[in-house]
Amino acid sequence: MTETDKNAVLNFLLETGCCKRCALRYIGDAGADYDNPQQNGHDQGAKKTKLNPCIICLDLLQDVTLESMIQCQELEKVKEYDCKTFINFISFPIAVLIREHSMEIYMNEKFPKFFEDHYIVPINRAWSLSIQNKLGEKLGKKFNKDSLLQIQFNTSYEFEKEESSIMFLMESKLKKNNEENEGLSRNVIGEFLKTINTELFKKHASVPPEIPRKALSFDQMTYKHDFIFIAGRYCKFSRNLFQTPWANDEVQVINSSVQEILFESLENVFKCSSLVFSSSGREDFDVRMLGRGRPFFIKICDPKVTKISFEQFRSIEKQIEKTNLIKVRDLQFISRKLVNNIKEGEQFKQKTYRALCVVDKSDKISDYIEKINKLRSLKLQQKTPLRVYHRRSSDIRAREIYSIEARSVTGADNLFELDVVTQAGTYVKEFVHGDLGRTKPSLSEIIGGYVDIIALDVLDIHLDFPPRLNKKQDSIE
Ligand SMILES: [Zn+2]
């Protein structure tokens, strides 16, 4: 296409009632200076823009609208994020989509040759190009399409009803396929407009678009930083601490938990809206978690602070350790991909437990220990334990004990210590006492007598998550 063609099309668009930026979009100029449309080469000799609101974008791309966005008070709060980049999104009225479609039909009819092999710059792209530099300047941040800090501008149009005929048609057509869907999304409408028969469209909407009575208006902006994840391993030294907040009959019985201790120390650091805790399994409130601890990760929602140094992580760990209830190690940022690893690793992992067991026949204890130490591995069938019956549906789990070892306890002839390595998800307490025959085989059945656990510790969870931190970390301990 020649420069003359371009100018002819450009002038025609301006005459028809488009704004300068929309006119630039239609001649397919993605590289044009959307920041400053007056400075464009194409503009030479262009006639004056009409004074009506733009018949396509309803003035979304006009300086006055862009300026009202840049001057938005809320942007001051976006400055509080430590993220150095941002990405901006626009939500515009459906009327704009309809008008854009109408204009495309019109221009294809008027200039069929010109529009044979060209590309119209989409409105949202032109809007982004028009505002991103000014926005970046205002925020002291750089536009980046991969940024996790998202700023969304919303606009509305009070004369949406002008398009009621075509809207009604779309709703009736689309609702048939999409019974459940109440409002129609922009994407669904966009797809519909791509396929609608031109004659049918013309029956329900005006081509070219009519001069609008008013411009759209900028309503509000919203912003948020995408989730980030941190991970670590925790040890729990208390036999009176739940992993997550626990309530009974809506009365909280124990006023702390591993999760609450962690959250308390993280909320202020990340200045986030909320935190979500996940771990590789859980222990009962009366079970200690020792050794290298239990792998966990925390999803941090909308963090204002995303840059934490190695030393800061270590000082968070120290602060947590001061509670004397739990301790955390290997605290670090992790990627989404690693979060999936912990979920996948779940079913394959093994756990090592140490239990203090009690029997009623102390004269038989050495006989019991001998019987246990003859065992190698065991395959168990475990019905849902009675103690968790109220919150889990009943089923039978097949689980494996990989190794087992018992030894006597000095000075106590009715006790022995038991080390077991189990498959993840094994109910260890039930394996020992048998749960009234619901776990088979059980230790009680094997030794042929009463046996129960009086204290249980998890010694290790054999899952390498998150990556161990370097020696620097180990030497602090
Ligand atoms: Zn426009």
pLDDT, mean of residues 465-469: 90
> What percentage of the chain reaches a pLDDT higher than 90?
68
> 41 alpha carbon to ligand 1 midpoint, in Å?
19
Contacts of 236 (CB under 8 A, 6+ apart): 243, 258, 283, 287, 288, 289, 294, 325, 326
Q: What pTM does this model have? A: 0.84
pLDDT band at 45 (very low <50, low <70, confident <90, very high): very low
Q: Active-site positions? A: 284
The full length of the chain comes to: 477
For the chain, the distance separating the N- and C-terminal CA atoms, rounded to the nearest angstrom, is: 72
CA Rg value for the chain: 33
Give CA–CA dist 266/270, Å, rounded.
Answer: 6
- The single residue listed with the structure tokens 């986030």 is 272
> 113 alpha carbon to ligand 1 midpoint, in Å?
23
User: What is the number of other CB atoms lying within 10 angstroms of the CB of residue 364?
Assistant: 15
pLDDT score recorded for residue 246: 72
Looking at the predicted structure, is the pLDDT value of residue 65 above 50? yes
> 464 alpha carbon to ligand 1 midpoint, in Å?
56
Give CA–CA dist 29/125, Å, rounded.
Answer: 11
Least confident of 2-11, 151-160, 435-444: 2-11
Q: Which tokens sit at 284?
A: 């009962």
> 66 alpha carbon to ligand 1 midpoint, in Å?
12
Query: pLDDT digits over 254-272, tens only?
Result: 558 999 999 999 999 999 9
> 22 alpha carbon to ligand 1 midpoint, in Å?
4
User: What is the number of other CB atoms lying within 10 angstroms of the CB of residue 182?
Assistant: 6
pLDDT score recorded for residue 476: 38
Contacts of 224 (CB under 8 A, 6+ apart): 149, 150, 273, 302
Domains with residue ranges and CATH for the chain: 3-225 (no CATH), 228-347 (3.30.70.2510), 349-462 (3.30.70.3190)
Give CA–CA dist 30/212, Å, rounded.
Answer: 26
pLDDT score recorded for residue 27: 87
